[in-house]
Amino acid sequence: MTRWLPHPWFALWLLVAWLLLQQSLAAPTIVLGIVLALVLSWALGKLGLPRVRVRSLGTLLVLLARVFADIVRSNIAVAKIIVSPWPRYTSGFVTIPLEITSPYALALLACIITATPGTIWVSHDSRRQMLLIHVLDVIDEATWIAHIKQRYEQPLLRIFR
Amino acid sequence: MNVLATVPGWVALTIGALVLAGALLVCIGSVGLLRLDSFYRRVHAPTLGTTLGMYLVLVGTIVFFWAGEGRPALHVILIGVCVTVTTPISLMLLARAALERDRREGAAGIPAANPPETGADGGE
């Protein structure tokens, strides 16, 4: 199993992407999709990437729903700052000490932070485990650190334990 | 747009509202890119278009083809996934290049390579 299917999540994603692109659920399409997913995920396994271990799918889904809500909220917040004639806000850098080390968890955190307008991932120091982000409207630095750590990092720690 | 003429009015209105709301967010994002003053502030603005703006247009597209052709164009979801996953790469590249430049120039309000403490740049 591990040897022949080293990246089951990648294989599943390839199959889903294939079926979506083909826009069909006919048997030959599904069979070809499975073959492609197996061969390509096997080839990816040859590159020796670390394996993805999703420990808690439920937590992942909860996290995605939460991120979506945050995307909507922060879109409105940033749009308000842009359109207001006399915007009052303070931008700044925030340094966050991180506990997560899994490259996949970090990648997902990067997507989350970038996808919520108002925060951008600037740099991550993997040795000191420090993340530097830029926030468009920092109301309180400690609140931002707690926000990122509790809302995103804790679920990520549970998912990629 | 003969598809919109064949569907019920409220469906056409929904599609129009979704696409227009998405386009409005993209527009606000572009205005922000123009209006905001420092690099780090400006780079926030276009993310409106790559997140909720894009999602609204995508949902509008799905509903449009659902109403017009009778099957949801679910494959446009792939656009959303690919944009969401690839945006951080270019954004990070830009932000890190700016940070490197500002550190070399010794610009004010930029955290050092090993920041002892954080600080607000005030954006001036």
B71 contacts on A by Cβ (under 8 Å): 23
DSSP single-letter state for residue B116? S
Shared domain for A88 and A113, answered yes or no, is yes
Nearest to A121 by CA among B123, B12, B90, B34: B90
CA distance B35 to B83: 24
Are B111 and A132 inside 8 Å of each other by CB? yes
Distance spanning both ends of chain A, measured CA to CA: 21
Shared domain for A129 and A90, answered yes or no, is yes
Of the CA atoms within 13 Å of residue A9, those in its CB half-sphere come to 8
Which residues is A133 bridged to in the sheet?
Answer: A94, A121
CA distance A70 to A75: 8
Shared domain for A73 and A123, answered yes or no, is yes
Shared domain for A95 and A150, answered yes or no, is yes
Are A21 and B31 inside 8 Å of each other by CB? no
CA distance A82 to A60: 32
Shared domain for A68 and A36, answered yes or no, is no
Which residues is A119 bridged to in the sheet?
Answer: A135
Q: How many angstroms separate the Cα of A59 from the Cα of each of A28, A64, A152, B118?
A: 34, 9, 11, 31
Shared domain for A155 and A118, answered yes or no, is yes
A85 contacts on B by Cβ (under 8 Å): none
Shared domain for A86 and A15, answered yes or no, is no
Residue B18, burial from CB neighbour count under 10 angstroms (0-12, 13-18, 19+): buried
Q: Which of A20, A91, A110 sits opposite B88 (nearest CB)?
A: A110
Are B48 and A23 inside 8 Å of each other by CB? no
Q: How many angstroms separate the Cα of A63 from the Cα of each of A67, A85, B25?
A: 6, 35, 24
Shared domain for A40 and A65, answered yes or no, is no
Tens of pLDDT along B24-54?
Answer: 999 999 999 998 888 899 999 999 989 999 9
Q: Which of A78, A90, A114 sits opposite B120 (nearest CB)?
A: A90
Long-range pairs, A50-53, Cβ under 8 A, ≥24? A50/A102, A50/A103, A50/A104, A51/A2, A51/A6, A51/A7, A52/A7, A52/A9, A52/A10, A52/A104, A52/A160, A53/A160, A53/A161
Q: Is residue A76 in some structural domain? A: yes
The range of the structural domain enclosing residue A26 comes to: 8-45
Shared domain for A62 and A125, answered yes or no, is yes
Shared domain for A28 and A94, answered yes or no, is no
Q: State which H helix or E strand residue A37 sits in.
A: helix A27-45
Q: What is the ipTM of this complex?
A: 0.83
Tell me phi and psi for residue A128, to 5 degrees: -90, -5
Residues 6+ apart with CB under 8 A from A157: A99, A100, A105
Are A92 and B92 inside 8 Å of each other by CB? no
Q: Is residue A3 in some structural domain? A: no
Residue A4: CB atoms within 10 Å: 9
Total-model pTM: 0.84
Shared domain for A98 and A151, answered yes or no, is yes
Shared domain for A66 and A135, answered yes or no, is yes
- Give pLDDT tens digits along chain A (161 positions): 567 788 888 899 999 999 999 888 888 899 999 999 999 988 888 888 888 888 888 999 999 999 999 999 999 999 999 998 888 888 889 999 999 988 889 999 999 998 898 899 998 888 888 999 999 988 888 989 999 999 999 999 999 87
Domain count, chain A: 2
